[in-house]
Amino acid sequence: MALMETAASMIFTDYSSSSSSTARLLHFTSSRVQKFPNTISHFRRSNTLKFGISNPKFPRTIITYCSSASPSAVQVTEEASATIIDGKRVAKDIREEVAVEISRMKDKIGIVPGLAVILVGDRKDSATYVRNKKKACDSVGINSYEVRLAEDSTEEEVVNHISKFNDDPSVHGILVQLPLPRHMDEEKILDAVCIEKDVDGFHPENMGRLAMRGREPSFVPCTPKGCIELLHRYDIPIKGKRAVVIGRSNIVGTPAAFLLQREDATVTVVHSRTENAEEITREADIIISAVGQPNMVRGSWVKPGAVIIDVGINPVEDPDCTRGYRLVGDICYEEARKVASAITPVPGGVGPMTIAMLLSNTLLSAKRIHNFS
Amino acid sequence: MALMETAASMIFTDYSSSSSSTARLLHFTSSRVQKFPNTISHFRRSNTLKFGISNPKFPRTIITYCSSASPSAVQVTEEASATIIDGKRVAKDIREEVAVEISRMKDKIGIVPGLAVILVGDRKDSATYVRNKKKACDSVGINSYEVRLAEDSTEEEVVNHISKFNDDPSVHGILVQLPLPRHMDEEKILDAVCIEKDVDGFHPENMGRLAMRGREPSFVPCTPKGCIELLHRYDIPIKGKRAVVIGRSNIVGTPAAFLLQREDATVTVVHSRTENAEEITREADIIISAVGQPNMVRGSWVKPGAVIIDVGINPVEDPDCTRGYRLVGDICYEEARKVASAITPVPGGVGPMTIAMLLSNTLLSAKRIHNFS
């Protein structure tokens, strides 16, 4: 079950992109988003969500009944509706800020940040993610370097490429696209990335520093960094609030809990072995969900006025869509938006933030390596 | 406030001693303690506890009224009384197990584990702790090496000694006694201890591995390891239970939370910025408190039947004692023992476990380095 949580999140979501310093993560001139803008997002409802990731802890029947017509323990009115946290817009702002900084650095010291991506194997989704990262780098002026290795490559080959990038002064960030082929030791390969260029923030030392008081991580993992950045940009207070993080993966749940605690939230981590997950979640002022379970968190799990950050990106069957499926989060959006005060949509919430944070981390790395502020 | 918590715990308590692997921490033939033995411990009551560590979050008045005569929100009966978790006895068992293993290793491969302790400055309490560690090493057959440096030593001198011990094959564990003199960078010095000999488990990479799923720390920090070991030895279930850790220091609270979560508890970390600490703590099946606040946790904070591990060791004025003070925990023992199902006393609870775990970690290190099982 332990691994299932992480694996589930990895199957359909690309979290393999990184992020940067700590606390107040972006140090650029911040063009704050208007507080609680009334962006409208459109979602269809479906009563039959058959194409999800299975989890014996959370039976499919729960998912099946997720619609606004389903019974809910929480009093909701049809009129009430949460502020939609517009991740797409925030991510666009961040990219623009990153581009401005990159241009300034180039002008002042002639340095252009570089990001190296290593892709092993032929997974189409991974190839798409890598292509998107390359495009994003291009759009802000980061040089990107790509190595594609065959599915049957050896660990040694991958590590050799990492070593070269570790030594290459034009590379400031190194990403290994996950998942790796099964015959490879992910831990060994990820640990080969030198901590100064680990823009994904996945190195255990980095995670330790993130967890420890008085220590600063080199990089904050991109997806949780994006979650907290959304809270910041929408002026949502964290200090002293009760937060529940659903999911305890190394790449989202665990670092998200650390980030919330660093900002003085009182954090509870809910996971697959938690009893009364609904009741505990209902105590939260802030919910961050990252389990990869479509519509798992119902309206009845949400305290009225809570803020919800939905990291899940789960495909569910939908014959009305030309692709045959659509993407939904871990949160039953239609129910939750009537109870919460603010919520991220899926897609268009946390998703676009991950790559924006990767760009931000790569910039941060280049600035740090070249002592540019 | 952040630092205050850690500092408070450090002033009167010696947590600078370590521990070992993970999950099931001791792999010796375990002579399990009889389940819930009826050990009796004696404590005097005092209504005036003036000699505590101050914390604006928890006003002194709370402490002042801690006695069995004080009002409590929880229904307690004079008869009800928790099982006393006898840390002194468990620690003794562990030391005996360690001694047996050390003897076996010496017989089989001729290796004797070695522990090096570096003490900087003239603090009497630190000198006492180091002396106690040396004695404990002697008692189980661990060679101990000690370096004492003057208060005005340089960081470089301390790091040089650490480097020598890093390279010395007869040394399997290295401890730097905390606190260090103010002019020294604790982070820099602790990080100089190579992770393979960091029997305190304070290295950030070690902490990261402890926090991460699928990773194993080289060593588990001694005091939290001792807390979990007490739960194990008393057959107290952790999986699926709600746990509250009070305090978020790097050396106790944070790693204790990781250990509980590794065993599938649902963990909330309560700290100085937490609102409704009492209410949240009352939800816990297991409470681990490590804040250094005498008698802070009242009976009303405790859910009936909860298990309490009290890490605090706080001196409070007591003219009846020949020393003029006595030691109390973070938990108002007289109240809590009537509500809880099991509780550690202070002294004689977690305290003796810390050094026992240090010995256990040193043995583990020697076994690992010499590939002995």
Non-local (6+) Cβ contacts of B123 within 8 A are B179
ipTM (interface predicted TM) = 0.83
| B90/B349 Cα distance (integer angstroms) | 9
| pLDDT for the residue A80 | 67
Q: What is the mean pLDDT of chain A?
A: 85
**What confidence tens digit (pLDDT) does each residue in B18-43 have?**
433 333 333 333 444 444 433 333 33
**What confidence tens digit (pLDDT) does each residue in A305-330 have?**
999 999 999 999 999 999 999 999 99
| pLDDT for the residue A78 | 54
| pLDDT for the residue A217 | 96
Per-domain residue ranges for chain A? 60-88+222-352
A26, two tokens = 């972006």
| B257/B209 Cα distance (integer angstroms) | 13
Query: Is residue B110 pLDDT above 60, yes or no?
Result: yes
Beta-carbon-side half-sphere exposure of residue B67 (alpha carbons within 13 Å): 10
CA distance B316 to chain A (A): 28
Query: Is residue B116 pLDDT above 90, yes or no?
Result: yes
For A88-125, letters b (16+ CB in 10 Å) and e give: bbbbebbbebbbebbeebeeeeebebbbbbbbbbebee
Mean pLDDT (whole number) for B288-310: 98
| pLDDT for the residue B13 | 54
| B351/B370 Cα distance (integer angstroms) | 30
- Cβ atoms of A318 and A326 within 8 Å: the answer is yes
We find that the CATH architecture of domain B60-85+234-352 is 3-Layer(aba) Sandwich (3.40)
Cis before A237? omega within 30: no
Classify residue B56 by burial, with Cβ atoms within 10 Å: 0-12, 13-18, 19+: exposed
Interface test with B, best of A202, A205, A260 (most B CBs within 10 A): A205
Report helix angle B222-233 to B253-262, nearest 10.
40
- Which residues are registered as beta bridge partners of B286? B243, B307
- Cβ atoms of B329 and B310 within 8 Å: the answer is yes
Query: Is residue A195 pLDDT above 50, yes or no?
Result: yes
B117, two tokens = 């302790």
Of chain A residues 238-267, which have a CB less than 8 A from chain B? 239-240, 242, 248-250, 254, 258, 261, 264, 266-267
Considering chain A, what percentage of its residues have pLDDT values greater than 90? 78
B108-220 in CATH: which number? Answer: 3.40.50.10860
Task: Say yes or no: do domains B60-85+234-352 and B108-220 share a fold.
Answer: yes
| B318/B327 Cα distance (integer angstroms) | 9
Say which of A215, A239, A266 has its CB closest to residue B187. Answer: A215
| pLDDT for the residue A181 | 96
- What is the C-alpha radius of gyration for chain B, rounded to an integer number of angstroms? 20
B344, two tokens = 């550690």
Non-local (6+) Cβ contacts of A354 within 8 A are A14, A15, A17, A222, A223, A226
Cis before A347? omega within 30: yes
* Active-site residue (options: A177, A197, A198, A318): A177
**What confidence tens digit (pLDDT) does each residue in A20-31 have?**
333 333 333 344
| B175/B19 Cα distance (integer angstroms) | 11
| B197/B219 Cα distance (integer angstroms) | 9
| A368/A217 Cα distance (integer angstroms) | 13
Domain A60-88+222-352: homologous superfamily in CATH: NAD(P)-binding Rossmann-like Domain (3.40.50.720)
Confidence of residue B48 (pLDDT cuts 50, 70, 90): very low
Angular region, A36: left φ>0, alpha ψ -120 to 50, beta rest: left
| Whether A310 is catalytic | no
**What confidence tens digit (pLDDT) does each residue in B239-268 have?**
999 999 999 999 999 999 999 999 999 999
**What confidence tens digit (pLDDT) does each residue in A136-171 have?**
999 999 999 999 999 999 999 999 999 999 999 999
| pLDDT for the residue B203 | 94
Strand B325-328 to A83-84 pairing:
unpaired
Quick one: DSSP state of residue A20?
Answer: -
Among chain A residues, CA nearest to B218: A204
Non-local (6+) Cβ contacts of B234 within 8 A are B33, B35, B36, B83, B85, B342
Query: Which chain B residues are closer than 8 Å to A212 by Cβ?
Result: 204, 207, 250, 254
Non-local (6+) Cβ contacts of B162 within 8 A are B118, B174, B176, B189, B192, B193
Query: Is residue B156 pLDDT above 90, yes or no?
Result: yes
